[in-house]
C-alpha cells in the first residue's frame, strides 16, 4: 500500500476506461459553481473539522443539509444546549390506508397498518450536526433537503393503484438513454429484483429487514460498489472501505480545507462515473437528488437569496447530481408521520448493532475529533492503545507499559510500511494482535478483542432536551395500558393482582402485553403464577400477574426507545439482539422461541426458528441441546394450540435429538457440579425416546451412544446412570446390571468402594426396570456387602443410602419386602403382573394424574 494522491491513483487505473478529463471537468464545474457544495461522509470527524473551518470563513446565510426534510421543525431542539449527542432524529410513517400494499408483509397482520421508522443518528462530530451548530453560531438558517424516507419505500402494489403522481416503480423513471445502454437496462433484473416482485423476495421478516436496511443506507454503498473503488482497493490493498476512507481522508491533516474538498470530490466523481445509473435509480438516489435540487431552488427563492449566499452540505456522491434534471421527485404517500429526537448510544450507531450506515468505532472517532480540536492529532493512536489496554486490564488481563510501547512502535512502523503518514485503526488493531495476543487470535484473542470493541465503540448515551415532550415508546405504553383497561394502575404505586384467561380476547391481549413488558424488563408487572410451559403445569389458559407502577417505569421505557417506537417493536428488537447474543446456545434460542410465542410475535417465531436451526448445528453441548429438545417438545404441543406451523419444528426436533445423542460422549467425565444436570437431561432424552410419539427419533442411535458412554465413563456415578438408562430402555437385562454390581464385589477395595456412587447413578435414572430385576440386584448387592469389610462398607454406606433414598417409598418398601423374603423373614406374596409394558403403565398413570389436575383447574 502506498500513499498517493487521488490523481496518482488515477494513473494506475487506466484499465477502468475512466475518462479522467471528464471527471476533472465535472469536479471543476462543481467546485467553482456559485452555489458552494461541500461533500461529507456521515460520522467523519475530519470532514466535520474541515467543514467547520469553511463555514466560519464563508459565513453563508443559509445552509442546506442532507437531512430529513420532514424534520425541519426539529432543528431548534437539536441546537438546544440541553440536547447532547449522540441523539437521533426519529421519523416514522404509518401507512394507514395501505397505500403501499405492504400490510401483512411489513406488519404483523393485514389489518395492521405497517409502520416504517428511520433513525438519523448524530454524533458530536457528525458533519451534519456540526453544520447545524456552526450555522446557529454564525446566524445562518438551516434547511434539511432530503426526500422523506417514506417516499422511498418500494410498493408491493401495481403502479396504477398508487395515488402518487410519480409512482415509485422503476418504469416511472425516465432513463436517459444516452447514459444507459441496452445492456445495462437488460441487466436490471440481475442487479436488483423489480420492486413489484418484492412480495416474492422472501419471508415478511426478510422484506421488513431489507426495507429497513435500504432506508438506513445512504449513498456510500454505491461508492463501495463502483468499479473505481473496487479497482482502487485492489491496487492499494485496502481490505475494507473503512480502511480506504481512513487512509485517504480521515487520518490525514489537510492544512487547507479546499484541498480536502477537491480530493474528496474527485474521489466521489470517479466513483459515480463508474457506477451504473440504474443502481442509482433503483436505490432512490436519483429521486432523492431531485428532491434536494427542488428544495434548494425553492429555499433560495423563498428567502430571496442568491446562490452565493448559500452552502450545500451533502454526501459527496450527490455533488455530481444531474442539475439539468427537470423531473419532479416522487410525492410521498399519505399516512401518519411522526418526527422527534431521541437519545441514542454509541453502541446503536456502531456497525456491531447492525445499523446499516453505522460507524465501526464511534469512541475512536470521538477521540480523533477531541484530539484534533486540541491540536494533538498525531497522538490519537497512542491514546487509543492506552485505552484498549486499560479496558483489557479492567477484565484482569496483564498488559504492561512495555506492551503499550511495543504496540505503539509496531503501529507506527506498520503504517509506514503500508504507506501511511498517520496510522489508521486497522494498523492499530493489527499491532495490538501482534504484540498482545500470544497464539491463534481466534482462540487466544477473546479478551483482547473484547477490550478492543469496548475501547472502539464506547458507552456514551445522549440526552434530549425536555422541551420536546414524550417519546413514542412511552406514549405507546400508556396507550396500551388504557386500551387494556389497566389505567387504574398508573401513577398510583399500588399493587394490583390481575388474573388473565387466555381463552378470552382481553385476557389474551393482556397476557401478550405483560409478557412483552416482562421480557423488556419494564418493572411494572410480575408473573406470579403460570410457568412458561403451560402444558407442564396443567394450567393451560390462566396466568396470574401482579402489577405495580412506579416512576422507574418511565425511565425504563425511555431506555427502550433505542429499540423501537412501540412496545411491540422494542420486544422484537430486543429479542433479535438476544438471538444474536445467544446464537451459539440451542437451549437459550429454544427458550427465545417459546418467548416469541408468548409475546405473540409470529414473524419473530419464524426468525427464531431459523436461528434455532443454526444454533442446533453449532451447539455441541449436551445439556444445551437437550434443553432445546425438551423446550421444542413443549412448543410442539403449544403450537397446536396457537395454530402455528409445525413442519420445521419436527425437523429441528429430529436434528436436535441426533446432535444430543452424539454429544453424550462429551459428558462421560462431567465434573461433579454438572453431574446431576447431565443425569436429568439423560432422563429427559430417554423419556423422549420412550414416549414414541415422535417416530423419526432414532432410538438405536441414542442407545448406542449411551452404551458407548457407559463404556467410556471414568465416573462411577455417571457409569451407573448410563447403565441405568440402558436398563430402562430394555437394552440391558437387569441381570447384566446385577452382574456389574457383582463384579464390583470381586474388585479391589479401591474399586469396590465406588459401588455406592455407581448404585446412586443407577437409581437416579432407573425405576421400573429396577423393580423388574429386583431379585437379581438384591442378590448382587448382598454379595457386595458380604464381600466388603467394615472400613470399605463405611465408605460405601452414605452413597448407598442416598441411592436408595432416591426411590419412591412404595418401591423402597417393595424392595425391602423382597430382601425380607430372601432372608426368610417374610412369606412371599405374588406380585400383580403387568399385562401392558411398564412404560405404558407409567404414561397411563401420568395421564390420569394430569387429567385430574386439569379438571380441577377448570373447575369442572
Binding site residues, another protein, CB under 8 A: 237, 239, 400, 402-403, 406, 409-410, 413-414, 417-418, 430-431, 433-435, 437-441, 614, 617-620, 658-659, 662, 665, 708
Considering the complex, state which of residue 418 and residue 767 has its C-beta at the smaller distance from another protein.
418
At 632, which helix (H) or strand (E)? helix 622-642
**E-assigned strands of 102-180?**
115-122, 141-146
Residue 315 near residue 219, CB atoms below 8 Å? yes
Q: How far is the CB of 669 from another protein (least distance, A)?
A: 12
Residue 421 near residue 252, CB atoms below 8 Å? yes
The candidate with the shortest Cα–Cα distance to 808, out of 759, 767, 758, 765, is: 767
Q: How far is the CB of 212 from another protein (least distance, A)?
A: 24
Task: Give me the helices (H) in 304-339, please.
Answer: none
At 542, which helix (H) or strand (E)? strand 542-547
At 307, which helix (H) or strand (E)? none
> CA 724, CA 466: separation in Å to the nearest integer?
66
Considering the complex, state which of residue 442 and residue 827 has its C-beta at the smaller distance from another protein.
442
For the chain, the residue count is 860
Considering the complex, state which of residue 203 and residue 552 has its C-beta at the smaller distance from another protein.
203
SS3 of residue 609 by DSSP: helix
> CA 198, CA 69: separation in Å to the nearest integer?
27
- What are 706's three cell numbers? 449411551
Considering the complex, state which of residue 426 and residue 456 has its C-beta at the smaller distance from another protein.
426
Q: How far is the CB of 622 from another protein (least distance, A)?
A: 13
Residue 91 near residue 71, CB atoms below 8 Å? yes
The candidate with the shortest Cα–Cα distance to 633, out of 675, 585, 691, is: 691
Considering the complex, state which of residue 708 and residue 783 has its C-beta at the smaller distance from another protein.
708
Considering the complex, state which of residue 51 and residue 653 has its C-beta at the smaller distance from another protein.
653
In our burial notation (b when 16+ CB lie closer than 10 A, e otherwise), range 114-143 reads bbbbbbbbbbbbbbbbbbbbbbbeeebbbb
Q: How far is the CB of 682 from another protein (least distance, A)?
A: 18
Instruction: Compute CA distances 488 → 215, 386, 493, 509, 852, whole Å.
Output: 40, 54, 10, 17, 37
DSSP characters for 574-591?
HHHHHHHHTTT-HHHHHH
The candidate with the shortest Cα–Cα distance to 807, out of 817, 799, 815, is: 815
Considering the complex, state which of residue 465 and residue 618 has its C-beta at the smaller distance from another protein.
618
Considering the complex, state which of residue 430 and residue 650 has its C-beta at the smaller distance from another protein.
430
Q: How far is the CB of 360 from another protein (least distance, A)?
A: 17
Considering the complex, state which of residue 665 and residue 816 has its C-beta at the smaller distance from another protein.
665
> CA 379, CA 162: separation in Å to the nearest integer?
56
Q: How far is the CB of 693 from another protein (least distance, A)?
A: 23
SS3 of residue 636 by DSSP: helix
Q: How far is the CB of 243 from another protein (least distance, A)?
A: 11
Q: How far is the CB of 15 from another protein (least distance, A)?
A: 14
Q: How far is the CB of 761 from another protein (least distance, A)?
A: 22
Considering the complex, state which of residue 618 and residue 735 has its C-beta at the smaller distance from another protein.
618
Residue 79 near residue 133, CB atoms below 8 Å? yes
Q: How far is the CB of 415 from another protein (least distance, A)?
A: 9
Q: How far is the CB of 452 from another protein (least distance, A)?
A: 16
SS3 of residue 495 by DSSP: coil
Q: How far is the CB of 426 from another protein (least distance, A)?
A: 8
Considering the complex, state which of residue 42 and residue 659 has its C-beta at the smaller distance from another protein.
659
> CA 204, CA 619: separation in Å to the nearest integer?
27
Considering the complex, state which of residue 109 and residue 398 has its C-beta at the smaller distance from another protein.
398
> CA 269, CA 24: separation in Å to the nearest integer?
8
Question: Any idea what DSSP says for residue 351?
Answer: G
Q: How far is the CB of 659 from another protein (least distance, A)?
A: 7
Considering the complex, state which of residue 430 and residue 501 has its C-beta at the smaller distance from another protein.
430
Amino acid at each position: 500500500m502506498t500513499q498517493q494522491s487521488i490523481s496518482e491513483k488515477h494513473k494506475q487505473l487506466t484499465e477502468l476506461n475512466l475518462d479522467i478529463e471528464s471527471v476533472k471537468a465535472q469536479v471543476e464545474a462543481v467546485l467553482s459553481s456559485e452555489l458552494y457544495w461541500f461533500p461529507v461522509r456521515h460520522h467523519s470527524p475530519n470532514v466535520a473539522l474541515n467543514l467547520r473551518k469553511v463555514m466560519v470563513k464563508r459565513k453563508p446565510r443559509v445552509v442546506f443539509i442532507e437531512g430529513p426534510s420532514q424534520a425541519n421543525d426539529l432543528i431548534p431542539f437539536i441546537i438546544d444546549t440541553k440536547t447532547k449527542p449522540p441523539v437521533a432524529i426519529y421519523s416514522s410513517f404509518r401507512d394507514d390506508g395501505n397505500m403501499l400494499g405492504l400490510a401483512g408483509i411489513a406488519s404483523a397482520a393485514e389489518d395492521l397498518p405497517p409502520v416504517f421508522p428511520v433513525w438519523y443518528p448524530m454524533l458530536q462530530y457528525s458533519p451534519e450536526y456540526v453544520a447545524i451548530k456552526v450555522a446557529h453560531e454564525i446566524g445562518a438558517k438551516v434547511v434539511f433537503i432530503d426526500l422523506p424516507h417514506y417516499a422511498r419505500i418500494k410498493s408491493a402494489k401495481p403502479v396504477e393503484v398508487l395515488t402518487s403522481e410519480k409512482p415509485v416503480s422503476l418504469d416511472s423513471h425516465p432513463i436517459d438513454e444516452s447514459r444507459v445502454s441496452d445492456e445495462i437496462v437488460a441487466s436490471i433484473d440481475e442487479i436488483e429484483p423489480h420492486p413489484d416482485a418484492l412480495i416474492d423476495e422472501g419471508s415478511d421478516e426478510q422484506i421488513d429487514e431489507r426495507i429497513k436496511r435500504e432506508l438506513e443506507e445512504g449513498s456510500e454503498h454505491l461508492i463501495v460498489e463502483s468499479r473505481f473503488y473496487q479497482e482502487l482497493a485492489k491496487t492499494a490493498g485496502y481490505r475494507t472501505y473503512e480502511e480506504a476512507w481512513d487512509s485517504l481522508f480521515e487520518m490525514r491533516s489537510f492544512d487547507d480545507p479546499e484541498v480536502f474538498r477537491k480530493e474528496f470530490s474527485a474521489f466521489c466523481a470517479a466513483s459515480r462515473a463508474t457506477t451504473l445509473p440504474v443502481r442509482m435509480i433503483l436505490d432512490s438516489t436519483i429521486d432523492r437528488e431531485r428532491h434536494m435540487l427542488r428544495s434548494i431552488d425553492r429555499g433560495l427563492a423563498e428567502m430571496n437569496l442568491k446562490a452565493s449566499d448559500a452552502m450545500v452540505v451533502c454526501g459527496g456522491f450527490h455533488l455530481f447530481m444531474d442539475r439539468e434534471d427537470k423531473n419532479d421527485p416522487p410525492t410521498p404517500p399519505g399516512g401518519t408521520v411522526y418526527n422527534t429526537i431521541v437519545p441514542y448510544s454509541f453502541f446503536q450507531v456502531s456497525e456491531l448493532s447492525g445499523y446499516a450506515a453505522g460507524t465501526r468505532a464511534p469512541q475512536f472517532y470521538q477521540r480523533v475529533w477531541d484530539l484534533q480540536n486540541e491540536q494533538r492529532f498525531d497522538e490519537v493512536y497512542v491514546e487509543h492503545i492506552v485505552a484498549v489496554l486499560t479496558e483489557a486490564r479492567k477484565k484482569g488481563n496483564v498488559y504492561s507499559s512495555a506492551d503499550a510501547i511495543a504496540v505503539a512502535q509496531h503501529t507506527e512502523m506498520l503504517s509506514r510500511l503500508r504507506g501511511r503518514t498517520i496510522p489508521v485503526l486497522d494498523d492499530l488493531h493489527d499491532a495490538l494482535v501482534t504484540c498482545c495476543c500470544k497464539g491463534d487470535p481466534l482462540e487466544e484473542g477473546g479478551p483482547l478483542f473484547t477490550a478492543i470493541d469496548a475501547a472502539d465503540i464506547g458507552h456514551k448515551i445522549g440526552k434530549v432536551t425536555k422541551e420536546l415532550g414524550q417519546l413514542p415508546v412511552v406514549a405507546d405504553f400508556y396507550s396500551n395500558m388504557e386500551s387494556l383497561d389497566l389505567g387504574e394502575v398508573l401513577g398510583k404505586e399500588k399493587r394490583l393482582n390481575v388474573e388473565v384467561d387466555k381463552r378470552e380476547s382481553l385476557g389474551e391481549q393482556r397476557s401478550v402485553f405483560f409478557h412483552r413488558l416482562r421480557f423488556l424488563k419494564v418493572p411494572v408487572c410480575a408473573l406470579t403464577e403460570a410457568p412458561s410451559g403451560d402444558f407442564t403445569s396443567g394450567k393451560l389458559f390462566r396466568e396470574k400477574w401482579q402489577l405495580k407502577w412506579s416512576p422507574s417505569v418511565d425511565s425504563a421505557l425511555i431506555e427502550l426507545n433505542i429499540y423501537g417506537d412501540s412496545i411491540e417493536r422494542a420486544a422484537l428488537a430486543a429479542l433479535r439482539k438476544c438471538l444474536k447474543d445467544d446464537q451459539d446456545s440451542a437451549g437459550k434460542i429454544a427458550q427465545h422461541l417459546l418467548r416469541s410465542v408468548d409475546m405473540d410475535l409470529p414473524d419473530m417465531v419464524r426468525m427464531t426458528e431459523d436461528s434455532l436451526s443454526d444454533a442446533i448445528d453449532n451447539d455441541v453441548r449436551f445439556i444445551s441441546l437437550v434443553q432445546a429438545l425438551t423446550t421444542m417438545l413443549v412448543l410442539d404441543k403449544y403450537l397446536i394450540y396457537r395454530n402455528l406451523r409445525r413442519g420445521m419444528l419436527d425437523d429441528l426436533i429430529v436434528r436436535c435429538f441426533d446432535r444430543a445423542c452424539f454429544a453424550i460422549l462429551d459428558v462421560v467425565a462431567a465434573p461433579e457440579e454438572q453431574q446431576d444436570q447431565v443425569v436429568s437431561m439423560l432422563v429427559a432424552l430417554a423419556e423422549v425416546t420412550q414416549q414414541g410419539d415422535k417416530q423419526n427419533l432414532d432410538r438405536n442411535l441414542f442407545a448406542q451412544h449411551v452404551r458407548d458412554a457407559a463404556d467410556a465413563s471414568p465416573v462411577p456415578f455417571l457409569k451407573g446412570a448410563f447403565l441405568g438408562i440402558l436398563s430402562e430402555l430394555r437394552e440391558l437385562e437387569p441381570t447384566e446390571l446385577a452382574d456389574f454390581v457383582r463384579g464390583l464385589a470381586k474388585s479391589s477395595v479401591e474399586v469396590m468402594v465406588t459401588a455406592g456412587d455407581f448404585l446412586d447413578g443407577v437409581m437416579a435414572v432407573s425405576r421400573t426396570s429396577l423393580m423388574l430385576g429386583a431379585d437379581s440386584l438384591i442378590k448382587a448387592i448382598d454379595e457386595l456387602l458380604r464381600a466388603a469389610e467394615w472400613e470399605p462398607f463405611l465408605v460405601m454406606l452414605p452413597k448407598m443410602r442416598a441411592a436408595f433414598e432416591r426411590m419412591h417409598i412404595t418401591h423402597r418398601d417393595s424392595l425391602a419386602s423382597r430382601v425380607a423374603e430372601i432372608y426368610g423373614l417374610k412369606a412371599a406374596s405374588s406380585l400383580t403382573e403387568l399385562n401392558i409394558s411398564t412404560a405404558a403403565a407409567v404414561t397411563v398413570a401420568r395421564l390420569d394424574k394430569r387429567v385430574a389436575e386439569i379438571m380441577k383447574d377448570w373447575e369442572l
